[in-house]
């Protein structure tokens, strides 16, 4: 199954991850995470595929995260609320997210990419 790569072109981490995918010859489709923010249902699928809790999908170093005081909001938030917030603004989502429909990774760690995305 082809890989979907959710990214923000101005993001340095996304650029590194994309370069890695290119160098490894991984076939992928890019999705601009801000212009085409994943829906709540898509985010739920990505959370399920990653095995991570939804709070790991927040871009905690982002300006929008700080502006909206998400750190405090997340303390008592339900999974449903977290998914709604993420779906409301692509800048809140940690990136890149890479998925093949079965597995998903969040962020870019070369070791993890080698393990999951190497052919």
The 10s digit of each residue's pLDDT in 65-95 is 999 999 999 999 999 999 999 999 999 999 9
Helix, strand, coil in percent for the chain, rounding step 5:
50, 15, 35
CATH architecture of residue range(s) 3-117? 3-Layer(aba) Sandwich (3.40)
Contacts of 27 (CB under 8 A, 6+ apart): 2, 3
Enumerate the domain spans of the chain.
3-117
Q: What is the pLDDT of residues 23-36, one digit of tens each?
A: 999 999 999 999 99
* pTM: predicted TM-score of the whole model, two decimal places: 0.95
Beta strand spans in 8-79 (E):
28-32
Contacts of 25 (CB under 8 A, 6+ apart): 119
């Amino acid at each position: 199954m082809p890989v979907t790569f959710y990214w923000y072109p101005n993001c340095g981490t996304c650029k590194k991850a994309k370069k890695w995918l290119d160098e490894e010859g991984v076939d992928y489709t890019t999705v601009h995470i801000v212009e085409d923010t994943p829906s709540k249902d898509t985010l739920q699928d990505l959370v399920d595929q990653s095995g991570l809790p939804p709070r790991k999908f927040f871009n905690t170093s982002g300006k929008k995260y700080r502006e909206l005081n998400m750190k405090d909001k997340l303390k008592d938030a339900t999974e449903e609320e977290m998914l709604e917030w993420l779906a409301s603004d692509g800048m809140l989502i940690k990136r890149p997210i890479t998925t093949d429909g079965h597995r998903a990774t969040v962020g870019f760690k070369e070791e993890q990419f080698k393990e999951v995305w190497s052919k």
